[in-house]
């Protein structure tokens, strides 16, 4: 019998929020992979998207702004055998938590990172985010941000991400496949998800994305193992917006550095006193 | 013949091998069954400058240093100039005669002993870097100590070119016997019988060992003086003991990693200093709200801000008590000495697990980075039993596991995610018993009360401050906390022996502040009215203020040291004598 991922909680997102389809894609992917909620950890930060761990049945680690990645790293190292998903918005992921994003790419923990990128700070009512367009006007960017947008996929490829992808809330089946592939990927799977925000972003709407997104894998020159090709693709934005897996490579997941984790989760061990006593010898 | 005490100071530039010299001397004496404490006074640089180490040797365990100098070893001219007047008429000042000379403008006290350490090192195919070995041998020879244990120390500390180093040591000894025979002490020192083996470790190393004995399996941290060696200890032992250590990209990352690991049921810790602790306070608040056990070692150095990065202070008591926004229970401990650190860090993990709350262990550069002789019998590995997190009992009529079940003592049953079919929530938001969001006013109050209620139980477990030497009628009460213990204790003993009955009240468990227990302690020592002197290494008198705030105790005054150097027995003695005069 398939697991249920429903919780008792009232979903607080605005009607029409892009988080709804993304939630459905996550649940569809989990259902398809038959992952038990008790074997799933969703680590989140602060924002609307990070409320996901209360709307999907799981072990939820609902932490602080932009710090979902270091929190999930600690959890994952304690027990690498569970399924770990970290979820954040573009504020937590690309402003507060950029450092953790970069170093997670380098470390390559076996974690799926979903960033709900709606190009605005929703929960705090409409300030610009690192991915806002330069002409995005808000109370704290009165003439637009006047800065180029942050390029998360470019950063991911520059820092040796082993699974770098972009999805869209306007293309559910495609997004579901990306999430499935990300969970199955042995290493850090990063998926930037284009998401309309019906309350605060009246430019990048469902319609706007539908007119522009196209599937990378349908391109004749599709080559997700070519890093330079992938990097070029990350700079493509405007009339056409690529979605799909940009880049994929193989590197040992971070927990392989700790042979002890191959035996059992960390909480199963107790260091024998004798072994600790032995440590004293070198100080004699 | 029995030695009571020897004080050696070595000075020179960073990178000249002062630490090697100190280690060789300390190891030599430790191997012979004596007790050594040496403290490092270093600048924040890799090469150059003027550093020194102060080494104290005794036939009894020592937990305090002095300013006295029986032997000064100067490896640089600047070091010589700075320290040559710090001794007394009896001080022997050894110095590298090739490059150092007493300078007319600089007065010195004691007897200069010029020795060409470098030339002696380079004889017979040796190399200049062996000069420190020569200096150690020369010192030991003057102090009446045979070279056997130095030779052992050479093998352990240096490990390479052992024979050449031992030969250079012998040449150093011969030089002294040839040129300075009259300065060699009559008190020959021989190896002592000891009940158990003596080891030489830094405070950080003992503390880290205690954490591992407590079954801490996960550490994440960012290098910061003087806490770094705790992280490095875990890294070194990681593979052998099956630990996980992570060098985090920042202190905020480190603290969040600790929260994540602990959420999964693993004893986890981090170690940092003030500036790093500042960055961790947001996640500390998360740990308090989400009721996840964490242990943070904060090894203090002088602030504010970058301050004096390589020096010592006790100025983060209030930071430990109040850091992290919002109101949540936490425990603050401050080890009195290296042995106390071994046990107290184990208690820290017990507090954290039992009460599902953050625990902060306060150290400082002096305690963390000084080397102490610790005998095997001082470390009882089985003394402190690990307490577990409150278990969850699944039963037939159970509703879903409630991570934040409201209980009488405020402590909810714990479950590790993934161990059962239940789901486990942890959140920094205000929450229901299950762990989902709530903004309901009455639920908020219930949860906040639940968290604060844990403090009542913690207070039962917090120990009262220790009283040293309850005299029938002390004329002076000295109060201190944390790493000054050894120094205060020795001064109190000296004062009492010199005719001024004195008692010490010393705290190593500071928060939640055990008001009733502390009032009882002061009742006990204040048999008759006596001045109360609070002594601490900060500029605002943090314990002094805490005593006033918590129990309304107005001390008679304070002795504060905040020049970045720890209290020594001599410095404190002088200060107290001056107060007496006034």
Q: Tell me what ipTM this predicted complex has.
A: 0.98
Interface mutation target, options B221, B381, B423, B424, chain A, most CBs of A under 10 Å: B423
pLDDT tens by residue, B337-380: 999 999 999 999 999 999 999 999 999 999 999 999 999 999 99
User: How far apart are the C-alpha atoms of A179 and A21, rounded to whole Å?
Assistant: 13
User: How far apart are the C-alpha atoms of A47 and A88, rounded to whole Å?
Assistant: 7
Tokens of B82: 């700075």
- 3-state DSSP of A73-99: HHHHHHCCCCEEEEEEEHHHHHHHCHH
A38, A74, A276: residue with CB nearest B261: A74
User: Residues 70-99, chain A: which have Cβ within 8 Å of B?
Assistant: 70-79, 81-82, 99
Interface mutation target, options A39, A281, A283, chain B, most CBs of B under 10 Å: A283
Provide, as residue numbers in chain B, all residues whose Cβ is less than 8 Å from the Cβ of A269.
Answer: 215, 217, 242
Contact B152, B194 (CB under 8 A): no
The distance of B35 to chain A (nearest Cα, Å) reads 12
Q: Which residue has the higher pLDDT, A8 or A104?
A: A104
Inter-chain touch B427–A70, beta carbons under 8 Å? no
User: How far apart are the C-alpha atoms of B553 and B532, rounded to whole Å?
Assistant: 9
Inter-chain touch A78–B428, beta carbons under 8 Å? no
pLDDT class of B535 with cuts at 50, 70, 90: very high
Interface mutation target, options B241, B417, B419, B424, chain A, most CBs of A under 10 Å: B417
The pLDDT value given to residue B325: 98
pLDDT class of A269 with cuts at 50, 70, 90: confident
pLDDT class of B393 with cuts at 50, 70, 90: confident
- Please tell me if residue A7 touches chain B, with a CB cutoff of 8 Å: yes
Inter-chain touch B379–A38, beta carbons under 8 Å? no
Chain B: residue nearest A47 by CA?
B429
Q: How many A×B Cβ pairs under 8 Å?
A: 186
Residues 6+ apart with CB under 8 A from B479: B465, B504, B505, B506, B507, B532, B533, B534, B535, B543, B547, B555
- Please tell me if residue A41 touches chain B, with a CB cutoff of 8 Å: yes
Contact A99, B250 (CB under 8 A): yes
Beta bridge partners of A234: none
pLDDT tens by residue, B476-494: 999 999 999 999 999 999 9
The distance of B286 to chain A (nearest Cα, Å) reads 7
Contact A51, A20 (CB under 8 A): no
- Please tell me if residue A62 touches chain B, with a CB cutoff of 8 Å: yes
Provide, as residue numbers in chain A, all residues whose Cβ is less than 8 Å from the Cβ of B437.
Answer: 9, 12, 51, 54
Tokens of B553: 């105790």
Backbone angles phi, psi at B478, to 5 degrees: -105, 135
pLDDT tens by residue, A224-251: 999 999 999 999 999 999 999 999 999 9
Average pLDDT of chain A is 96
Closest alpha carbon to B429 in A6, A51, A20? A51
pLDDT tens by residue, A152-170: 999 999 999 999 999 999 9
- Please tell me if residue A270 touches chain B, with a CB cutoff of 8 Å: yes
pLDDT tens by residue, A108-117: 999 999 999 9
pLDDT class of B92 with cuts at 50, 70, 90: very high
Tokens of B399: 């509703």
Helices B131-142 and B162-179 sit at what angle, rounded to 10 degrees? Answer: 50
Report the pLDDT averaged over residues B447-467: 97
Closest alpha carbon to A209 in A171, A164, A173? A171
pLDDT tens by residue, B180-231: 999 999 989 999 988 889 999 999 999 999 999 999 999 999 999 999 999 9
B31, B416, B420: residue with CB nearest A267: B416
The pLDDT value given to residue B582: 63
User: How far apart are the C-alpha atoms of A179 and A259, rounded to whole Å?
Assistant: 28
Q: Looking at residue B414, what DSSP letter applies? A: B
- Please tell me if residue A249 touches chain B, with a CB cutoff of 8 Å: no
Chain A: residue nearest B209 by CA?
A276
- Please tell me if residue A262 touches chain B, with a CB cutoff of 8 Å: no
- Please tell me if residue A199 touches chain B, with a CB cutoff of 8 Å: no
The pLDDT value given to residue B3: 64
Report the pLDDT averaged over residues A210-237: 96
Provide, as residue numbers in chain A, all residues whose Cβ is less than 8 Å from the Cβ of B422.
Answer: 38
Report the pLDDT averaged over residues B249-259: 98
The pLDDT value given to residue A272: 84
The distance of A45 to chain B (nearest Cα, Å) reads 9
Inter-chain touch B260–A279, beta carbons under 8 Å? no
- 3-state DSSP of B195-228: CCCEEEEEHHHHHHHHHHHCCCCEEEECCCCCCH
Interface mutation target, options B200, B235, B243, B260, chain A, most CBs of A under 10 Å: B260
- Please tell me if residue B430 touches chain A, with a CB cutoff of 8 Å: no
Interface mutation target, options A50, A63, A65, chain B, most CBs of B under 10 Å: A63
Report the pLDDT averaged over residues B160-164: 92
The pLDDT value given to residue A137: 95
User: Residues 144-183, chain B: which have Cβ within 8 Å of A?
Assistant: 156
Interface mutation target, options A3, A7, A70, chain B, most CBs of B under 10 Å: A70
User: How far apart are the C-alpha atoms of B200 and B27, rounded to whole Å?
Assistant: 7
Question: Is residue B153 over pLDDT 70?
Answer: yes
pLDDT class of B397 with cuts at 50, 70, 90: low
Question: Is residue B51 over pLDDT 70?
Answer: yes
Question: Is residue B413 over pLDDT 90?
Answer: yes
The distance of A224 to chain B (nearest Cα, Å) reads 29
Provide, as residue numbers in chain A, all residues whose Cβ is less than 8 Å from the Cβ of B379.
Answer: 280
Question: Is residue B455 over pLDDT 60?
Answer: yes
Inter-chain touch B423–A60, beta carbons under 8 Å? yes
Question: Is residue B398 over pLDDT 70?
Answer: no
Interface mutation target, options B23, B232, B264, chain A, most CBs of A under 10 Å: B264
Inter-chain touch B248–A70, beta carbons under 8 Å? yes
Backbone angles phi, psi at B377, to 5 degrees: -70, -15
The pLDDT value given to residue B438: 96
- Please tell me if residue B208 touches chain A, with a CB cutoff of 8 Å: no
Inter-chain touch B256–A8, beta carbons under 8 Å? no
Q: How are strands ordered across the β-sheet holding B509-511?
A: B244-247, B218-221, B268-272, B294-300, B358-364, B331-333, B509-511
Tokens of A253: 């997941």
- Please tell me if residue B212 touches chain A, with a CB cutoff of 8 Å: yes
pLDDT class of B429 with cuts at 50, 70, 90: very high
User: Residues 230-249, chain B: which have Cβ within 8 Å of A?
Assistant: 237-244, 246, 248-249
Inter-chain touch A99–B253, beta carbons under 8 Å? yes
Chain A: residue nearest B438 by CA?
A9
Inter-chain touch B253–A270, beta carbons under 8 Å? no
The distance of A276 to chain B (nearest Cα, Å) reads 7
The pLDDT value given to residue A270: 86
Report the pLDDT averaged over residues B105-128: 93
Report the pLDDT averaged over residues B129-157: 95
B239, B259, B266: residue with CB nearest A71: B259
pLDDT class of B1 with cuts at 50, 70, 90: very low
Report the pLDDT averaged over residues B450-466: 97
Chain B: residue nearest A39 by CA?
B418
3-state DSSP assignment of residue A176: helix
Backbone angles phi, psi at B528, to 5 degrees: -135, 160
B218, B224, B230, B232: CA torsion to nearest 10: 80
User: Residues 368-387, chain B: which have Cβ within 8 Å of A?
Assistant: 376, 379, 381-382
Tokens of B338: 């290296």
Inter-chain touch A74–B424, beta carbons under 8 Å? no
Helices B162-179 and B148-157 sit at what angle, rounded to 10 degrees? Answer: 140
Contact B262, B231 (CB under 8 A): no
> What residue has token string 């599709």?
A222
pLDDT class of B125 with cuts at 50, 70, 90: confident
* Percentage of residues in chain B having pLDDT higher than 70: 98
Q: How many residues in chain B?
A: 582
Return the sign of the alpha-carbon dihedral for residues B418, B424, B426, B429: positive
User: How far apart are the C-alpha atoms of A90 and A192, rounded to whole Å?
Assistant: 9
The pLDDT value given to residue B84: 95
User: Residues 280-339, chain B: which have Cβ within 8 Å of A?
Assistant: 282-283, 286, 290
pLDDT class of B2 with cuts at 50, 70, 90: low
Chain A: residue nearest B257 by CA?
A74
Report the pLDDT averaged over residues A97-117: 98
Inter-chain touch A103–B249, beta carbons under 8 Å? yes
Return the sign of the alpha-carbon dihedral for residues B145, B147, B153, B154: positive
């Amino acid at each position: 019998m398939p697991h249920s991922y429903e919780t008792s909680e009232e979903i607080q997102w605005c009607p029409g929020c892009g988080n709804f389809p993304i939630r459905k894609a996550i649940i569809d992917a989990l259902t398809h992979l038959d992952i038990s909620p008790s074997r799933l950890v969703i680590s989140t930060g602060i924002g609307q998207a990070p409320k996901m761990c209360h709307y999907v049945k799981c072990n939820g680690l609902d932490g602080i702004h932009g710090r979902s990645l270091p929190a999930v790293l600690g959890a994952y190292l304690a027990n690498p055998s569970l399924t770990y998903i970290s979820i954040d918005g573009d504020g937590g992921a690309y402003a507060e938590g950029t450092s953790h994003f970069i170093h997670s790419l380098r470390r390559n923990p076996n974690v799926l990172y979903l960033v709900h990128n709606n190009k605005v700070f929703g929960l705090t009512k409409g300030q610009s985010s690192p991915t806002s367009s330069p002409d995005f006007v808000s109370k704290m960017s009165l003439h637009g941000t006047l800065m180029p947008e942050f390029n998360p996929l470019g950063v991911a490829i520059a820092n040796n991400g082993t699974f770098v992808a972009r999805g869209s809330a306007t293309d559910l089946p495609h997004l579901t496949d990306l999430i499935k592939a990300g969970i199955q990927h042995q290493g850090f799977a990063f998926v930037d998800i284009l998401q309309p925000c019906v309350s605060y972003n009246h430019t990048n709407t469902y319609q706007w994305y539908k007119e522009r997104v196209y599937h990378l894998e349908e391109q004749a020159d599709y080559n997700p193992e070519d890093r330079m090709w992938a990097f070029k693709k990350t700079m493509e934005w405007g009339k056409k917006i690529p979605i799909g897996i940009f880049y994929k490579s193989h590197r040992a997941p971070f927990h392989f550095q700790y042979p002890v984790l191959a035996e059992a989760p960390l909480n199963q061990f107790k260091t024998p006193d004798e072994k600790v006593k032995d440590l004293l010898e070198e100080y004699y | 013949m029995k030695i009571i005490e020897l004080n050696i100071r070595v000075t020179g530039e960073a990178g000249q091998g002062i630490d090697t010299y100190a280690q060789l001397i300390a190891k030599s004496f430790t191997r012979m069954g004596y007790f050594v404490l040496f403290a490092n006074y270093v600048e924040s640089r890799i090469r150059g400058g003027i550093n020194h180490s102060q080494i104290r040797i005794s036939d009894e365990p020592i937990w305090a240093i002095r300013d006295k100098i029986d032997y000064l070893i100067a490896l640089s001219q600047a070091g010589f100039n700075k320290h040559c007047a710090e001794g007394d008429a009896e001080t022997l000042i050894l110095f590298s005669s090739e490059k150092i000379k007493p300078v007319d403008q600089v007065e010195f006290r004691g007897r200069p002993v010029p020795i060409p350490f470098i030339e002696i090192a380079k004889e017979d195919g040796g190399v200049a870097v062996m000069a420190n070995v020569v200096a150690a041998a020369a010192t030991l020879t003057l102090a009446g100590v045979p070279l056997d244990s130095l030779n052992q120390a050479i093998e352990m500390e240096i490990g390479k070119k052992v024979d050449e180093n031992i030969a250079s040591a012998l040449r150093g000894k011969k030089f002294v016997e040839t040129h300075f025979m009259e300065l060699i002490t009559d008190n020959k020192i021989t190896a002592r019988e000891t009940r158990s083996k003596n080891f030489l470790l830094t405070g950080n190393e003992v503390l880290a060992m205690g954490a591992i004995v407590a079954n801490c399996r996960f550490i994440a941290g960012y290098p910061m003086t003087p806490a770094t060696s705790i992280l490095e200890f875990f890294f070194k032992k990681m593979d052998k003991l099956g630990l996980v250590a992570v060098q985090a990209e920042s202190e905020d990352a480190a603290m969040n990693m600790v929260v994540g690991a602990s959420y999964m049921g693993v004893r986890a810790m981090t170690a940092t200093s003030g500036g790093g602790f500042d960055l961790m306070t947001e996640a500390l608040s998360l740990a308090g709200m989400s009721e996840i056990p964490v242990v943070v070692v904060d090894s203090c150095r002088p602030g504010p801000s970058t301050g004096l990065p390589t020096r010592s202070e006790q100025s983060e008591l209030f930071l430990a008590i109040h850091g992290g926004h919002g109101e949540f229970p936490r425990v603050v401990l401050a080890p009195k000495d290296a042995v106390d650190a071994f046990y107290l860090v184990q208690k820290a993990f017990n507090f954290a697990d039992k009460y599902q709350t953050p625990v902060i262990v306060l150290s400082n550069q002096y305690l963390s980075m000084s080397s102490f002789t610790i005998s095997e019998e001082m470390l009882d590995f089985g003394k402190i039993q690990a307490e577990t997190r409150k278990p969850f009992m699944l039963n037939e009529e159970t509703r879903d596991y409630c991570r934040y079940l409201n209980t009488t003592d405020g402590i909810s049953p714990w479950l590790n995610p993934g161990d059962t079919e239940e789901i486990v929530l942890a959140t920094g938001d205000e929450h229901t018993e299950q762990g989902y969001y709530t903004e309901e006013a009455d639920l908020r109050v219930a949860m906040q009360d639940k968290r604060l209620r844990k403090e009542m139980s913690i207070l039962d477990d917090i120990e009262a401050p220790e009283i040293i030497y309850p005299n029938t009628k002390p004329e002076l009460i000295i109060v201190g906390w944390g790493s000054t213990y050894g120094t205060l204790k020795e001064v109190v003993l000296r004062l009492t022996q010199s005719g001024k009955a004195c008692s010490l009240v010393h705290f190593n468990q500071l928060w939640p502040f055990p008001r009733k227990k502390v009032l009882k302690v002061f009742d006990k020592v204040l048999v008759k009215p006596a001045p109360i002197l609070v002594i601490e290494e900060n500029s605002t008198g943090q314990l002094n203020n805490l005593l006033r705030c918590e129990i309304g105790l107005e001390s008679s005054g304070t002795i504060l040291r905040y020049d970045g150097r720890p209290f020594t027995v001599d410095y404190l003695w002088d200060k107290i004598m001056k107060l007496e005069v006034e």
